Amino acid sequence: MIPEGLWQTDLPWLDGSGDAADVVVSTRVRLARNLTGAAFTHGNDASLLDRRRRDLAERLLNCPSFDDAWSLDLVAIDDLERRALEEMHLASPDLLREPEGRGLVISRDRSRAVMINEEDHLRLQVFRAGLDPLAACTEALACDVELEGELDLAYSDEFGYLTACPTNVGTGCRLSALIHLPGLVLGGEIGKILNSLRQLQFAVRGLFGEGSAVRGALFQISNLATLGQSEQDLAVEFSRRVTKVVQYERMALERIYDRDRMAVEELSHRALAGLQQARVLTSQEAFDRLSQVRLGVVLDILPRIDMARLNAALVRHQTAHLQLAAGHAASQTERAVMRADFMRTLLRDI
């Protein structure tokens, strides 16, 4: 069973702070690391994976960055709890799909997490609010130094860190930003921006990464190149590119608001009223209406709503969180009622 303190309180990197927080919800840096002389995860049987999980978890808990951290054996928790970890972006779908021999170590403030035996032996993640890749990268590298004091990591003088997927070889560093782009979506400009990013070797995905759907105009932007630059250089370039997207989004919002002020105001007010009065609410409806309310907040159309409240709702209205809060599994219809109840409570004082 996952500790209640892990999922019951809001994630600190969704507090609405940080640079460009009107557009960028959060930043994540992930470092892929593997052990010297050990086969990559997919070449191991379940018993070997479990022995490695226990050993790596113990070593991680010796690191100052993970002092007093939560250490989870993913087999020992149920499917609903595993889905909650995915909803919090602390664990990837790939890690949770086959929980045998997989583990997760999470710092008490939940700003750092290590996936054990996903595609690589270790995937260290650091989260920050808003657009802050350089600070996240600096902290991730500090954690990496601690890991190297505990483990012999696979490294080549020619290629850098060795990883299961060749596209991660080098730094093993992936930077990503969860970014809200309703202006570009409503203005019909999103395709042009996304194509430009792909040509510049950046991946653009949905809310939960590769293969996931786009919900509520939320996109994940991440770097593809990991070889030939330092982690700091990757972070600086990533920040520069995402900052350009932020500028495009702000300009797009201004254009659509100037073009049809009444329509944009109506969209935001209707979304807020819909969440305040709904009795049944699907997940897609919740994402879309939260997006439209957030748009209204950014444009100062709506009364000042705390962005942290809206960011937390992105996680808390989802399926697993609703059922964990209720203390029991629920049907799709029951979850839709729970979701509407949650939104009404969240926004009743606006």
Contacts of 306 (CB under 8 A, 6+ apart): 16
Phi, psi at 25, each rounded to 5°:
-75, -50
According to the 3-state scheme, what is the secondary structure of 254-298? HHHHHHCHHHHHHHHHHHHHHHHHCCCCCHHHHHHHHHHHHHHHH
Say which CATH superfamily domain 4-253 falls into: Glutamine synthetase/guanido kinase, catalytic domain (3.30.590.10)
Spell out the domain ranges in the chain: 4-253, 260-347
Distances from the Cα of 67 to the Cα of 43, 53, 70, angstroms: 31, 17, 9
Tens digit of each residue's pLDDT (9 = 90 or more) over 70-82? 999 999 999 999 9
For residue 349, what are the β-bridge partners? none
- Taking 80 as the threshold, does the pLDDT of residue 57 lie above it? yes
Q: How far apart are CA 252 and CA 236, in angstroms?
A: 25
- Taking 80 as the threshold, does the pLDDT of residue 303 lie above it? no
Contacts of 264 (CB under 8 A, 6+ apart): 256, 257, 295, 296, 299, 301
Tens digit of each residue's pLDDT (9 = 90 or more) over 25-44? 999 999 999 999 999 998 78
Per the CB < 8 A criterion, the answer to whether 343 and 286 are in contact is yes
Q: How confident is the model at residue 227 (pLDDT cuts 50, 70, 90)?
A: confident
- Taking 90 as the threshold, does the pLDDT of residue 254 lie above it? yes
Q: How confident is the model at residue 287 (pLDDT cuts 50, 70, 90)?
A: very high
Amino acid identity at 251 = M
Q: How far apart are CA 35 and CA 41, in angstroms?
A: 10
CA-nearest of 249, 220, 232 to 28 is 220
CA-nearest of 26, 19, 20 to 311 is 26
Amino acid identity at 216 = G
Per the CB < 8 A criterion, the answer to whether 144 and 43 are in contact is no
Sign of CA dihedral 55, 144, 34, 150: negative
| Predicted local confidence at residue 76, as pLDDT | 95
